[in-house]
Structure 1
Amino acid sequence: MSTPPFDTAAPRPRIWALSISRLRDLFFDISGEYVERADLRIVARGFEDAVHEIDAAGAGRPDVVIAGGSNGAYLKTRVSVPVVMIGPTGFDLMHALARARRDGSKVALVTHGDTPEEVRRFIAAYALDVTLASYQSAQDAESVVLDLRDRGIDVVVGPGLVTDLAASVGMGAVFLYSRASVRAGFDTALEVAQATRRETIRRQRLDNLLQHLRDGVVALDAQGRVEAMNQRLATVLGIDAANAVGRALLDLAPDLAGSLPDSDGDAFCTVRGASYVVHRGPLASSGAAAGTVLTFQESRAVERLDRTLRSRQRVQQFTARYRLDDMVGASDSMQRVRALVQRYARSDATVLILGESGTGKEMVAQSMHHLSARRDFAFVAMNCGAFPEALLESELFGYEEGAFTGARKGGKAGLIEVAHRGTLFLDEIGEMPLSLQSRLLRVLQEREVVRLGSTEPTRVDIRVVAATHRALTEGIEAGSFRADLYYRLNILSIALPPLRERPTDLLPLAVELLLQAAAREPRLAARLPDAAAAERVLAALAEPLRRYAWPGNVRELQNVIERIAVELAEMETETTAGLNVQAQAQAQTHAEADAETNASPNGATTQPLITRDMLRTIAPEIMEPHHARSKKTALTLRERSRHVEADEIRAALAAHDGDRDAACEALGISKTTLWRKLSAPR
């Protein structure tokens, strides 16, 4: 028989050979062959004494035990280590019977347990005159031997216990085992030890893996008994993991009865006051009899992981580009806006930004996001008036797979979910359809969103900033805007002044916009290297720019500056030697009028690159007579008054930390007047 492969790097397996009969002599005879491959110990113990010896060994207990006959059968049922039984070969049997026939005329073959059928067939085939007998225990063996003696048997063939008994009562005895059978037992023991050790290492690795899982895990057999459990789940259940193996899980944790999944899938349960998601799956793929794996995941951990994943899935388009420094203007009204942005950035309360179209409402919202604790997460902007109602609903709230015809496979997260842990900016909130306003109100109140086609809400952590150019109070009166949504949005408020109310900011804004346009146009990069150069270009236009009402505010100013930048670029293309002839003539016409404006630091004058006549060509609306514009803006003074009053009231509220009584006292108005001024159409 070939010897098993031997791993020299691993520690030698511990093998104990136990016998209290002449089998022990064979153990000693061949033990030298295994000294290099096993830590072999021959122990003169049997039955109950052998059991005590193994149990007392503790950490030094054997990996495998070798024994024969009734001693081996006894140990198999009473020790937890593998037991290899020494078994006679066919050659052993023939050789022993031949020796017995030479020593006596009447021979008996005694085996432990029932006589093997192949032995019976062998004796019958060769017509051997052999008496067959068997025994179950040591006491039984003694009775069998005495009975055979009384029946006139001369020689007994059998294991060590039987032959020792036969010799003690004066009978001939032939030992059944040979060196070959004992050597085969030792080789088998080595194979078993190595297989057991590999299995132990595999189980240790599996157990180590289980212990490092963040979730609680338990493996159950087909009867619901614990095969393995990690310490995390044992801690949750309040039990000892080491003593749980082999016991029914529901006996260890009766509170789980009725809350575990009946089949593969998920269920919710409560363990010692904490909520868990329990997943059930098969332990192996061979069917239900293979057992079950249960994983316990704490609900709060699932929510934290969900929030983290959603925040990391933020794409580049959902970032804020503008910062507070990008807001140009040194007027008192802009200083108040900056102060409010910095103050409100420290809060998570909903903000309503009021202002005419083009006043920079989104820039204010992005600046507030950059200054807030949510700066590392998404800034999601959506124009509520830019989508049809059905599309707006799916984009904002998301949808599940199959929610409607054409729905994306797997569904889609809405912008509310995308903004998780960040800021959701809802521009033109006054344009939102009435049917969606109630859904948005629930998001603001409960901080959870339900996708189209779903019934399960998703928790979201967002800050909402809304903006409008409309008077929402008029929408409330007209029934197109919900009053409860207005009060939910108007917790903090910022009113942006129109460009016509801050004329001192107009030229710095124009200069900044011209520099931005020049940066996008390579032909102007050298001509406009800094703000001073841009200011000289626009110097002749300062007065008409200030006189214009700018109904489109900063956005309209940006459009005009873009036209000026295009004109400058064309002029630069036509000539590299300075201004073209036509421009020089136009410049000379207005030289005296613009001399003071265009004075250089050393007292000399410079020729303007863009003149008023050129401005009349590229932006005729700016050069309209004042009386023509005044007809179109008859309510400008009234509107200006409302804006100024509202700004003063909000500034007073901000200065008194929102204390309306203190603000009213400082302004000398009643709370009713304050509310009316703030709610009046702008």
Structure 2
Amino acid sequence: MKWKFQIGNGCAHNRQTSQARREPPALSTPLFEPAERPRIWALSISRLRDLFFDIAGEYVERADLRIVSYGFEDAVREIEAAGTGRPDVVIAGGSNGAYLKTRVTVPVVRINPTGFDVMHALARARRDGAKVALVTHGNTPDEVRRFIAAYALDVTFASYQSAQDAESVVLDLRDRGIDVVVGPGLVTDLAAHAGMGAVFLYSRASVRAAFDTALEVAQATRGETVRRQRLDNLLQHLRDGVVALDAQGRVEVMNQRLASVLGIDAAKAVGRVLLELAPDLAGSLPDADGDTFCTVRGASYAVHRGPLASSSAAAGTVLTFQESRAVERLDRTLRSRQRVQQFSARYRLDDIVGASESIERVRSLVRRYARSDATVLILGESGTGKEMVAQSMHQLSARRDFAFVAINCGAFPEALLESELFGYEEGAFTGARKGGKAGLIEVAHRGTLFLDEIGEMPLSLQSRLLRVLQEREVVRLGSTEPTRVDIRVVAATHRALTEGIEAGSFRADLYYRLNILSIALPPLRERPNDLLPLAAELLRQAAAREPRLAARLPDAAAAERVLGGLGASLRRYTWPGNVRELQNVIERIAVELADVEADTDADTDALHDGATVLTREMLHAVAPEIVEAHERTTKPATPTLRERSRHVEADQIRAALAAHDGDRDAVCNALGISKTTLWRKLNAAR
């Protein structure tokens, strides 16, 4: 039977008059937007509707109230058809409320008559007739029976379960001679239609109590909805797949990440058994709380199982699926970040001492190349400061905030160099670290990788390095998955790589990949005017590390005064070890000066007075190779024809260098020789 409120004859006529007299308060202008207030529907197909209208005005500012004249299945359809405008809570009475409770997904608040309602209704009924019946939905409450028995009232009890049952109960009471029926709206309407007296059981107080309860339920429901929406939003933004299961393994919630992995619809998965949706997971999920690995559609995942509620494992389970490759990438990133502090550039462009044209040209190239990400090849003899130039370039580049990773390619055996550069996976070889290790190429991600002595790199590793330069990706030892890297490569060598190409010890394709931008560093002997300022700066640095000299040589000017008498001797030496050799000599001088300071009387402190303490004899004591080399060069000797030819060629090259302001590229083009030949002929004439 379908029930729908219709304005008709009998008691319904009075409701029509009442409705015409009072418009539904929910249609009046609210003080707040309806979306901000809970939506409450009051449903009735009986005289209960009049009570709804009577008290609705009290709730217009607290709720978006709608009084609906539908009942039973018609009410169910109306609620389900409302879509996003569905009520937060429904108010109904008697059998209508009981029916809706089991058939709609929104909370239903039933109107319950109070003891005062029963007393008042029975008193009215006794005034209207001798025989009274109390009809309730469901069993008559025991407290009502005890109350009536205590006052020796002659009342017949009856109850009903459904609308059809209510009609049968009313007709049976009529046949038994009952004069007046007390009950809910459905029953009283049926009694009036059957020609019996009818007293409505509900009062404004009971309806008001139902409205108050509905407001509390609506607010609690909305709060829970907001919390669930936030939780769902959190789950949807997780990078890992997450599913919550009940005690029977049915899906309670699943984020889209996991649904995509399993190839299912997340919304349709709710309420279904996970292993039925994804049978491939059978046997691979952890049986207890913990971690394991499984394969889903060809991809490996780390799966963690934990309880849905802390109180009991039977409450359900949470499974998180994390892609193994993502775990590996995160591990590599963390390892790289942990090692970044070990790899930083110390030198800046201002640390390069010298005012010669060749050094100024180097500074100009460093500034220009720092703006590019192209690979740079730094050429120069050992000890000319190739790493200092590389660090200066890094400090001026956009990568200055990231790692500067340097490795000497000639300082490691081939196997060790390969693992240091490219890294390795766990178990890649005997003795491999548990968890593997990130190589220096990975550590340099977003920074600069400096490959010193690149000419010493074994051929087998040159091909692997070539792929890194071409593809910007690295494969660890024991792995098949490449890792993308964003690095700027700077290489350096003291060897002539073109000769290595001719000899077959260096790959031509790697050379062309490295030699995109080039900086040639001049040897120390070719910038004699820079020698004394450079020696003074090195002496100042050495004095700063020596407590006995720190106060006596506070700056480079003081250091230069001390070294001034040795300038000629220092300039005459060819410095085959370049700046590194000069630094070693200066360290010896600093130790000698510290001993002199200790032996000098405070009143005649030569260092404090700025006098020249260092003499040729002292230099011979600390650096005999410098004095002896000068003595050898001053002895007359008859050069061979080949030596004379070398000197002539060297003189021509030096003249060309002077004519081209030290520009070696221009000299090579003018003389028709390569840089390698240029260096070889200059070195051969020493």
Task: Indicate the TM-score class for this superposition, using the shorter chain for normalisation.
Answer: 0.5 to 0.7
Deviation at 1:528, TM superposition (A): 3.0
Q: 1:377 to 1:630 in 2, by over 3 A?
A: farther
Deviation at 1:643, TM superposition (A): 12
Deviation at 1:200, TM superposition (A): 3.2
Q: Deviations over 1:428-486 (max 9, x none)?
A: 22222333222222211111112233222111111111112233344444444333323
Deviation at 1:362, TM superposition (A): 0.8
Separation (CA, whole Å) in 1 of partners of 2:314 and 2:456: 58
Matches within 5 A, 1:226-245: none
3-state SS, counterpart of residue 624 of structure 1: helix
Separation (CA, whole Å) in 2 of partners of 1:207 and 1:185: 32
3-state SS, counterpart of residue 491 of structure 2: strand
Separation (CA, whole Å) in 2 of partners of 1:87 and 1:644: 116
Between stretches 534-543 and 58-67, larger displacement belongs to 58-67
Deviation at 1:425, TM superposition (A): 0.8
Deviation at 1:411, TM superposition (A): 3.2
Q: Report what 1:47 is aligned to.
A: 71
Q: Report what 1:452 is aligned to.
A: 477
Matches within 5 A, 1:384-403: 384-403=409-428
3-state SS, counterpart of residue 454 of structure 1: coil
Matches within 5 A, 1:100-115: none
Separation (CA, whole Å) in 2 of partners of 1:219 and 1:639: 82
Q: 1:279 to 1:20 in 2, by over 3 A?
A: farther
Q: Report what 1:667 is aligned to.
A: 670
Deviation at 1:534, TM superposition (A): 2.6
Q: Is residue 2:644 matched to residue 1:619? A: no
Separation (CA, whole Å) in 2 of partners of 1:41 and 1:527: 92
Q: What residue identity is the alignment partner of 2:344?
A: T
Matches within 5 A, 1:516-531: 516-531=541-556
Contact 1:664/1:674 (CA < 8 Å) preserved in 2?
Answer: no
Residue of 530, 547, 560 corresponding to 1:505:
530
Residue of 401, 423, 436 corresponding to 1:376:
401
Q: Is residue 2:174 matched to residue 1:170? A: no
Q: Report what 2:517 is aligned to.
A: 492
Separation (CA, whole Å) in 2 of partners of 1:364 and 1:40: 74
Q: What residue identity is the alignment partner of 1:558?
A: Q
Contact 2:459/2:505 (CA < 8 Å) preserved in 1?
Answer: yes
Separation (CA, whole Å) in 1 of partners of 2:478 and 2:296: 23
Q: Is residue 2:458 matched to residue 1:433? A: yes
Q: Deviations over 1:85-123 (max 9, x none)?
A: 2357999999999999999999988666xx66999xx99
Q: Is residue 2:90 matched to residue 1:65? A: yes
Deviation at 1:507, TM superposition (A): 1.9
Contact 1:501/1:640 (CA < 8 Å) preserved in 2?
Answer: no
Q: Report what 1:285 is aligned to.
A: 308
Where structure 2 has 5 or more consecutive residues not aligned to the other structure, the ranges are: 1-35, 271-276, 286-292
Matches within 5 A, 1:129-140: 134=160, 136-137=162-163
3-state SS, counterpart of residue 344 of structure 2: coil
Q: What residue identity is the alignment partner of 1:45?
A: S
Q: 1:92 to 1:44 in 2, by over 3 A?
A: same
Separation (CA, whole Å) in 1 of partners of 2:102 and 2:170: 25
Q: Report what 2:613 is aligned to.
A: 609
Q: Report what 2:186 is aligned to.
A: 161
Contact 2:97/2:108 (CA < 8 Å) preserved in 1?
Answer: yes
Between stretches 469-478 and 310-319, larger displacement belongs to 310-319
Q: Is residue 2:496 matched to residue 1:471? A: yes
Separation (CA, whole Å) in 1 of partners of 2:240 and 2:522: 58
Deviation at 1:541, TM superposition (A): 1.7
Separation (CA, whole Å) in 2 of partners of 1:153 and 1:344: 108
Q: 1:179 to 1:389 in 2, by over 3 A?
A: same
Q: 1:218 to 1:383 in 2, by over 3 A?
A: closer
Q: Report what 2:20 is aligned to.
A: none
Matches within 5 A, 1:283-362: 285=308, 315-362=340-387
Where structure 1 has 5 or more consecutive residues not aligned to the other structure, the ranges are: 1-10, 237-243, 250-256, 270-275, 585-604
Separation (CA, whole Å) in 2 of partners of 1:416 and 1:245: 41
- Sequence identity percentage: 69
Q: Report what 2:487 is aligned to.
A: 462
Contact 1:352/1:491 (CA < 8 Å) preserved in 2?
Answer: yes
Residue of 175, 197, 217 corresponding to 1:192:
217
Contact 1:28/1:42 (CA < 8 Å) preserved in 2?
Answer: no
Q: Is residue 2:544 matched to residue 1:540? A: no
Q: What residue identity is the alignment partner of 1:285?
A: L
Contact 1:14/1:38 (CA < 8 Å) preserved in 2?
Answer: no
Deviation at 1:382, TM superposition (A): 1.3
Separation (CA, whole Å) in 2 of partners of 1:78 and 1:501: 97
Contact 1:645/1:677 (CA < 8 Å) preserved in 2?
Answer: no
3-state SS, counterpart of residue 358 of structure 2: helix
Deviation at 1:566, TM superposition (A): 1.5
Q: What residue identity is the alignment partner of 1:400?
A: E
Separation (CA, whole Å) in 2 of partners of 1:392 and 1:363: 22
Q: Is residue 2:438 matched to residue 1:413? A: yes
Q: What residue identity is the alignment partner of 2:621?
A: T
Q: What residue identity is the alignment partner of 2:185?
A: G
Q: 1:509 to 1:665 in 2, by over 3 A?
A: closer
Contact 2:135/2:187 (CA < 8 Å) preserved in 1?
Answer: yes
3-state SS, counterpart of residue 373 of structure 2: coil
Q: 1:630 to 1:295 in 2, by over 3 A?
A: farther
Q: What residue identity is the alignment partner of 2:354?
A: G
Separation (CA, whole Å) in 2 of partners of 1:419 and 1:385: 19
Q: Report what 1:273 is aligned to.
A: none
TM-score normalised over the length of structure 2? 0.67
Contact 2:125/2:182 (CA < 8 Å) preserved in 1?
Answer: yes
Q: Report what 2:27 is aligned to.
A: none
Separation (CA, whole Å) in 1 of partners of 2:382 and 2:557: 29
Q: 1:339 to 1:150 in 2, by over 3 A?
A: same
Contact 2:140/2:158 (CA < 8 Å) preserved in 1?
Answer: no
Deviation at 1:310, TM superposition (A): 8.2
Q: 1:42 to 1:513 in 2, by over 3 A?
A: closer
TM-score normalised over the length of structure 1? 0.68
Deviation at 1:395, TM superposition (A): 2.3
Between stretches 558-567 and 434-443, larger displacement belongs to 434-443
Paired positions, count: 604
Contact 1:400/1:410 (CA < 8 Å) preserved in 2?
Answer: yes
3-state SS, counterpart of residue 613 of structure 2: coil
Q: Deviations over 1:489-544 (max 9, x none)?
A: 22222222222233232222222222222222333344334444333322322222
3-state SS, counterpart of residue 187 of structure 2: helix
Contact 2:562/2:610 (CA < 8 Å) preserved in 1?
Answer: no
